[in-house]
Structures are given as structure tokens and as C-alpha cells.
Structure 1
């Protein structure tokens, strides 16, 4: 992780937690405690108001009232990002596991509290399964009928909205390859 990335990560950790120790930051960032102190000195020199308290319950925190300039996402943009992160996570993208978690933290830190609660709920209820091996080879017993319903993006959008709002969906399914 480059220094700039660490600085941003430290700011995000400090923004989303009450107080955190230098050792906890070092562990999360995969660097030494001394490196964390150098990064904190840089932040302080840049005018970020930090407060440190020694002792068993001590740690570093941002002074009350300090905030980062907001990155604004619409509700749908944030939901899209949460969905994408969940999909990548379900693929077992192990080389990117830490990056996915960092992106998730950045997203949650960048949205208002009410949207943060909605996104947390969506994360709990949203999941992706691995598709079956024959997903691209449907039965060809009958010629495919034309799909007369709404377009696929509209259908998926309706399902996503229902998932995020935790509403039931009633549907009627008919296969284009079977007479039903």
C-alpha cells in the first residue's frame, strides 16, 4: 500500500471509529506502528485536527466537528456499488479481498447515515450464487418463443429494488422453450 493510500485509509478509519490505537491502525494497514506515527504527523502537518490519548483506553481520533469533503452518491449509485462488491465477493476474488473491504469502508464512510443503514441492510440480504454449468445451454426441445414481457433490465431493476426494500415479489414464470 502506497503512502497516499495509507493516509486516506487512516482518515477513513478515524472518521468511522470513535478512537483507534496506533497499533490497531498498523495491524489493519500492514505497516509498523512507527509508520503510522509518521503518517499521523503528516496529517497533523496538513491541518487535520487529531487528538491522541495515552493509556489503556487511549488512541487517536479526529477532533469533534472535523469532516472530510463529501463524495456524493445517489441512492441508486450506492446500491449499484454495494451490489457489485457483493458480486465480486461471491466470486471468491481472494487476491482482492482486502481491496473489496477497503472499497466497502470508503463507500460507507462517504454516504449519509440513513443511506449507510440502508446499505448495511442490503449487504445482509443480498447474495449471489454460482450459476449452474449449463446456464448458457438451455433446452432446445421447442423453438424459442419471443419474450413478450418487460425488458430484462427492467425486471432485474424491480427485483433489486424489492431486495433492498425487503419486499416480497410475486412473479409468473414461463419458459421460452416449453409450452406452459
Structure 2
């Protein structure tokens, strides 16, 4: 077996074993003990995180993450990878952001100079704009890992009533309008809740006897359910001018609700959660006279209070 091939297969074997001795590897690969020691030194120099211990129970260990085999990319595939990561540049936080930055840095350094220049030019010509938020989300990794393993997480959550301790079963994470959200089953409330990730002050994985089997196979399942089934529904009716329709089409929360008349004006007649009355009223406040809320009465009262407060400022 050629040395290059042996080193490649040796790295794969180490990944699978995690713990091993040089003599075991020498026997498995049919080479001398000294040859394996030289091979292990070469892998270590290439960045494979090996650790050795002496003694009766000694041997080699693979530290931290496993090393993956090299992958060959076409030029267009390499550019596509950087384009995909470039689309996330305006997010204030990402799961595994430090690891992603390091992986892309390693990848970039090993690209031919002409492809590096092409990637640099591309980044100056395309932007995936997303509202930039100053809030940090420090526990995205913990939440995502727990969701993947269908486990439980202890969190300290800064909610409307102050910071409280909760044990939750995260369904997953999704990003919307610059914020990260975590739908989860709350063992304290014994119901599903939606948590904003930047309001999670602390998180750690825990075991819990109260953990239950969640009915959602994926975060998309939950999103579909949340859009279909409204908790504590109230009737939401709005009349829209031609300009109101145009503006509502540009809003992710409103565009799926709009109904359009033949003359281009429109209306909204749907159910929304009672807890979101103020949110939708504030959303339409920015429309001025291009949106008129008909129901619910709580939304109309909220708008009247805002008008009165604004009028007092400009007496």
C-alpha cells in the first residue's frame, strides 16, 4: 500500500476507533511499529488532534472532534459554498459560528489565487440583506444540539415577568426578521411555548423524567402547525387601500392574509392569536390612512391611544 493511501486510511481508522495503540495499528496495516509511529507523527503535524498516554492502559486518543476525509470540489461548488455563507453575514449570531468561520478560513487558504479573487469580487457584488440585530444569542449551539438529540435544556429566560427558570424540550430553531426563535415544550407550563433565543440568559442540557415524545418531526412541522392552528383566536378585520395592499404584500406576516378586490384595494379577514393583537395593530400603525382596522375592538382602542399620545406631543 502506498504511503499516501495508508495515511488516508489510517486517519479513517483513527476516527472510527477514537482510542488505540500503535501496535494495534501496525498489525492491522501490516507495517512495523516504527513505521506507524512515523505515520502518527505525520498525521499530528497535519492537524489530526492526537494525544498519547503511557502506562499499562495507555495508548493514543483522538481529542475533540473527529477529522473528516478530504473532499474535492469543483470551482463552481467552492464559490457556491462561500455564497451560501455570505448570505448569513447580517445575522448577529449563528449556531456554530466560530467553527464555521474557521472552516471557511481553512478552505479559502487552500484555494487557487484566481478562485480567491473571484470569491472576493462576488462578495462585493451581492448582499442578502437581513435586519441587523444587536442582541446576541449565546446558546444557539446548546439549543440546537438538544433539539437534534430530542433532549431537555434548563434555561433562564428573560420574559415579560422577569427572569424565570424553565426546563424545555426544544423542537429546533428558526430565524425570522433578524431574530432567532425556539419553539419548545415547556415542562413547567406543560404546553408548547415560543422563546426568543436572545432572551435566553443561560442554557445547559439536562436529563428529565418529565420529558415527553414531541409530535413534530421537524421545525417545519411546527411552523406549519403554528400557521394553521391559532391559540385563543380573535377575529382580525382590516380594510386596505391600493397603497395598503402594496405595502402589506411586502410584509411576511401580512401578505398571506390579504384578499384583493378587482380595483386593487383589499382586505384582511382572518383569525389571529389574542396575544398578538398589539403586534398586528402596531404593524398597521405604520400604514397610516392606508389601513383601517375594523376588528377587534382591542386593536382599535390601541390605535386610538397611540393617536392621542402622538397628538399630545405636537400640541
> With structure 2 as the length reference, what TM-score do the two structures score?
0.21
Structure with larger RCO (C-alpha < 8 A, sep 6+): 1
More strand by proportion, 1 or 2?
A: 2
> With structure 1 as the length reference, what TM-score do the two structures score?
0.37
More helix by proportion, 1 or 2?
A: 1
